Amino acid sequence: MIPNWLIQRAYLTPDKTALSFGEDKWTFAELKERAMILAKKLTANDLADGQRVALLGPSNTDMVFMIHACMLAGLEIVMLNSRLTAKELAWQLEDSGASAVIVADEMSDVVADSAVRPLLYSTIEQSAERPTEVQNMWAAERTITIMYTSGTTGFPKGVRQTAGNHVSSALSSVLNLGLEDNDVWLCAMPLFHISGFSILVRSVLYGMEVRLYEKFDAVQAATEIREGTVTRMSVVSLTLDKILRELEKEDRYAHASFQTMLAGGGSVPVDYLERATECKIPVLQTYGMTETSSQTATLAASDAMRKMGSAGKPLFFNQIKIRDTENVGEKGEVLIRGPHVTPGYVGRFADINPLEDGWLPTGDIGYFDEEGYLYIVDRRSDLIISGGENIYPAEIENVLVAHPAVSEAGVCGREHPEWGSVPTAFVVVTESVTAEELLAFCEERLARYKVPKEFHFVDKLPRNASNKLLRRELRAWVE
């Protein structure tokens, strides 16, 4: 059994700062009080322990309060990506089986046509309070969150993350990073992502303050890192670069109290690591996924230059092996095992066991060096990582071939100086259609970051003998 996170933390350190946003701050006792009021209001809206709800809103304090309220009320939370289109959200709402979608008033339009009952923030605020029986202890296997991640088939998968998954991830992280009494984690990651949500989990388990930004602000982040008001931060390469540029403008560097820059979403360029060293920022490269509730392996800052490009070693409770390999340096699919790994999916993929003989196949290709450091060679070979966002070509291809003029479509990534990579589409058409028309078609059906930045009209697509699309050939065409 696992103690209810916020209940236990508010009991242990009630007066310690839990959350800050702008000039406002809340202690753990105040966070619990606010969340408890909302939990009672959720109960008054016929939401009961064990039910599943979806949550959609900006990454602000209202979202934090609502997340904790849902957990106090015993609700499973489907974390919806606020960047998705109405069609994408409708699919996830239907697939998840959510009984209601709790939505910020300003985002209500995108779920207006959904068959799932909308419950606005304002409606909840205006509701009466009904007594709520809060569970002080949770079973480790209790589902806390569900986050959708696109599968290689192009259909999103609703990944279950349990109380045990989240706790294991947080404990593994603190055993690796350490913990200081004055730790403040700057969270500029979306709370609907595992990277953002995991920071909230660490906060209540560690008794650590979260310094929350609704949106990433390089100038403000650089100022706080320089002045020592935050000690840790999660970034992707793109945001790391922007922070470094701000520090470099005035030849400034991080405060001596700054401990960790945790960098995920793909390997960090050598140039960034060298510049971070000059700015006295310890960068720890990390490897993880939604199915592993954040980190699985992390490279120590002291190894950043010595083990350039490595994702480090597995964290304490985690195991990693390379499929069908015996020798150092031999490449193969990365397999993961540990208490942080999802027990399964919901909806369309609910009957699929994510594990093979207890191991999670990642689809990533990697290898270990002679010292046991993991290197990822190809992050799900077809995956496009754009500004830290994962984009699967099949999802875009499925949209394109739905256009009446398109008979075939192939998508791959093209290098981009700012975003790392952006999607590029190759299409075979049966009738006249313009790139502008295809762009408009995609914009109605895909989140903006998934929309192809280029359209190439070709006579045929590269395929193998079994007629499977060869995306590596598309990448060669782009290059």
| pLDDT tens digits for range 102-151 | 999 999 999 998 899 999 999 999 999 999 999 999 999 999 999 998 65
DSSP, collapsed to helix, strand or coil, labels residue 385 as strand
Q: Are 375 and 383 in contact (CB under 8 A)?
A: no
- φ and ψ at 175, to 5 degrees? -65, -30
Residue 467: the pLDDT is 47
Name the pTM for this structure. Answer: 0.84
Task: Look at residues 405, 411, 404 and name the one whose alpha carbon lies nearest to residue 446.
Answer: 411
Q: What residues in the chain have per-residue pLDDT under 50? A: 152, 465-467
pLDDT value, residue 49 = 92
pLDDT of residue 468: 62
Q: In the chain, where does the domain assigned CATH 3.40.50.980 lie?
A: 2-138
SS3 call for 411: strand
The CATH classification of domain 2-138, taken from the options 3.40.50.980, 3.40.50.11740, 3.40.50.720, 3.90.1010.20: 3.40.50.980
Task: Identify residue 254 by its one-letter amino acid code.
Answer: A
What average pLDDT does the structure give for the chain?
92
The CATH code of domain 384-478 reads: 3.30.300.30
Q: Position of tokens 């998934």? A: 450
Bridge partners of residue 359, in order along the sequence: 356
Nearest to 266 by CA among 231, 246, 232, 241: 241
Q: CA separation (Å) from 435 to 67, 126, 408, 421, 426? A: 41, 48, 15, 20, 11
Q: What is the structure's pLDDT at 430?
A: 87
Q: Which residues contact 452 (CB under 8 A, 6 or more apart)?
A: 396, 411, 422, 423, 424, 425, 438, 439, 442
> Where in the chain are all domains bearing CATH 3.40.50.12780?
168-378
338: left (phi over 0), alpha (psi -120 to 50) or beta: left
Q: Give Cα separations from 422 to 388, 391, 470 (angstroms).
A: 11, 9, 18
Instruction: Give the C-alpha separation, 338 to 324, whole Å.
Output: 19
> In a 10 Å sphere around its CB, with 0-12 CB exposed, 13-18 middle and 19+ buried, how is residue 181 labelled?
exposed
Q: What is d(CA 211, CA 234) in angstroms, rounded to the nearest whole number?
A: 12
Q: Does domain 168-378 have CATH number 1.10.150.120?
A: no
Is the CB of residue 247 less than 8 Å from the CB of residue 225?
Answer: yes
Reference 474, options 399, 405, 406, 421; nearest CA is: 421
pLDDT at 326 (0 to 100): 86
Burial class (CB within 10 angstroms; exposed 0-12, middle 13-18, buried 19+) of 354: middle
Q: What Cα–Cα distance (Å) separates residue 68 from each residue in 64, 227, 255, 433?
A: 6, 30, 32, 49
**CATH 3.30.300.30 domain extents, the chain:** 384-478
- Alpha-carbon distance 65 to 307, whole Å? 40
